[in-house]
Amino acid sequence: MSAPQTLPPIPAHIETLTGPLVVGELLGTYLFGILTVQFYLYHLNFPNDAKWIKYLVCSIFTLDLASIVMCIADSWHWFASGYGNIIFLNDIWLSAFDTPMLGAFIAAIVQCFYCHRIWTLNKYTLPICILVSMLAVAQIIAGIYGAVVGHRARTFAAAGPKVRAATWVVNIGAAVADVLIMVTMSILLLRSRVRTNHARTDFIVRRIINLTVETNLLSSTLAVLTVILLVGVPNTNYFTAPSILLGRIYSNSLLLILNNRKYMSSDNVVSDAGTESFHTATRKTALTFTTLAQTDRSDGEDRYQLTESRIDGTLDDENSNSVEIR
């Protein structure tokens, strides 16, 4: 009889290898659950969106679904089939594809969508849009390169030095693109806010700015954190936790921006914006009505018609004006 195979000893501080993987996979699954709800709400509330937007949403959801399925397969391989075996834990398995490659695709698609929005708001932003698009393409190329090289290396120890440059390109490129998008969108929206000078429009613009800053700031922070952990804490898997979450942050950000249109076009936003007022005085009464309606366009662009009507005095005089916002 042959002697039983001796497994390699469990290294000290094993939690630095297993912990980040567990945290990343669990939080990634949670974010995919949120994405699934957002995906359902989108199709429920916006059946008349342009076809290209629907295809975009379906593509993002499909990529994220493929990523989460492979992440679950990775977890099964590392912690179920390979339980107690450090060799399994060092095996890349499918993680070279589900995180760097699919994550880069999702990030690039969402960033290009933002570029389209920016260019729609102001055609003079074309150079910035081209730069962000180039960064998005660089992320895709680096993601594919990292996936192929990592899969061929088979182990994390062997793949680490080979994919370091690709990891830098993917994450630094994502961070720079997100900052450019965040700053450009904020400047354009702040300018439109000054021009319109409507309380209702001001509320909507502020909300869009907040969403843009929050989502892009979160994704850029995760990208930078991935690089910091990769360089600052070598020989650990700490960097994997934020890298697993990054793609799902992008996909959720896209659906959040699209679904937020439902709230902005809702009548309930009137009280939140503080634009419905009723003032009484001894001789004068003013009543302001503000309505926001989404207009249909053949090119699929989202436009909102803002109409404000004011009735003064004895309700005989009525003034109304409207402005179209994107």
**Number of neighbouring beta carbons within 10 Å of residue 6:** 6
Are 311 and 317 within 8 A, CB to CB?
A: yes
In whole angstroms, what separates CA 148 from the centre of its chain?
25
Total number of residues shown for the chain: 326
SS3 at position 305: strand
CA separation for the pair 220, 218 (Å, rounded): 6
The tens digit of pLDDT for each residue in 45-103 reads 999 999 999 999 999 999 999 999 999 999 999 888 888 788 888 888 888 898 889 99
Say yes or no to pLDDT of 4 above 80: no
Please tell me the predicted confidence (pLDDT) of residue 254: 95
**Number of neighbouring beta carbons within 10 Å of residue 316:** 7
Average model confidence (pLDDT) across the chain: 80
Separate counts of helices (H) and strands (E) for the chain? 10, 4
